[in-house]
Amino acid sequence: MRVHKTITFLFPDGCIDLPSCPKSRKLMVPLQCSLNMLEGDTGCSIWPSSLLLSEFILSFPEIFSNKSCFEVGSGVGLVGICLAHVKASKVTLTDGDHLTLANMRSNLELNQLSTDTSLLESYEDPNVVQCVHLPWESASESGLSAFVPEIILGADILYDRSCFPDLVRILAILLNRRKSDSSSRKESTKGFTLDTKCNTNDLNDLTAVTSKGPVAYIATVIRNIDTFNYFLSLVEQANLSITDLTEAKMPFNLLPYMQSYDRSNMRLFTVSSKA
């Protein structure tokens, strides 16, 4: 059963100068979603880590503004809506389930965003979100050639270990990709990595250090340590590096009223290529 629910992000006084903070200090995101993710409608449920990743985007908009962003396992589209709000130059949302994609498009339209199903990498409009069917098991390097994101995102995508090899393969393809060195796309080649010695009070430290390629931000609940360690081993085999930035860069608590939302058991990671 799907219902309409509104996620309201409440910006505290200290956020008033953030570009992502509305004048009302409230960002209301209406969504059509499933109330029970155990009934087989997981893609249409609001997963807890998508809330954390959304808070991160809204708390650190400078990371995502004017960047080409690509989400794997986008579900209801909440993360993509927040990316559009902070003016990412291009937002591509993907999912392997057609019904989930249809619900996602409905949610984007509920939030006054247009959707696009073409694969034109050059097309950039912050008010248009690209929605793409992407089954991980059949995704190939040639099939992903249309996408050259600067930032890859994923929320609560580390729960089914049987999917990890395909997920890590997709991440490796996207993270090892480089944009053209032509002057017209020079700025697009910039990605971000975390300075592990950063000052947690300095908003600019996440954007102060650039890398030669893209970076992925993954928010997750670690439900089983063996499952998570299996993911780490695949990341290492793929010549990728992973950094836990949870303690260094916990986002503002923009959902203080949501009693069922417990951030204490969630982690936020960056993944990048070692190449």
Pairwise CA distance, residues 85 & 78, whole Å? 11
pLDDT of residue 225: 95
pLDDT of residue 128: 87
pLDDT (average), residues 237-258: 95
Pairwise CA distance, residues 67 & 200, whole Å? 23
pLDDT of residue 202: 39
pLDDT of residue 44: 86
Pairwise CA distance, residues 275 & 269, whole Å? 19
pLDDT of residue 117: 65
Helix axes 78-85, 98-110, angle to 10 degrees: 40
221's tokens: 């609940």
User: For 52-64, what is each residue's pLDDT tens digit?
Assistant: 999 999 999 999 9
Pairwise CA distance, residues 270 & 34, whole Å? 29
pLDDT (average), residues 215-235: 96
Res. 37 pLDDT band, cuts 50 70 90? low
Whether the pLDDT of residue 48 is over 50: the answer is yes
Q: Kindly provide the b/e burial profile for residues 232-254, where b requires at least 16 CB atoms within 10 angstroms of the residue's own CB.
A: eebbeebebeebebeebbbbbeb
User: For 91-149, what is each residue's pLDDT tens digit?
Assistant: 999 999 999 999 999 999 999 998 876 655 545 666 789 999 999 999 999 989 889 99
User: For 144-185, what is each residue's pLDDT tens digit?
Assistant: 988 999 999 999 999 899 999 999 999 999 999 865 433 333
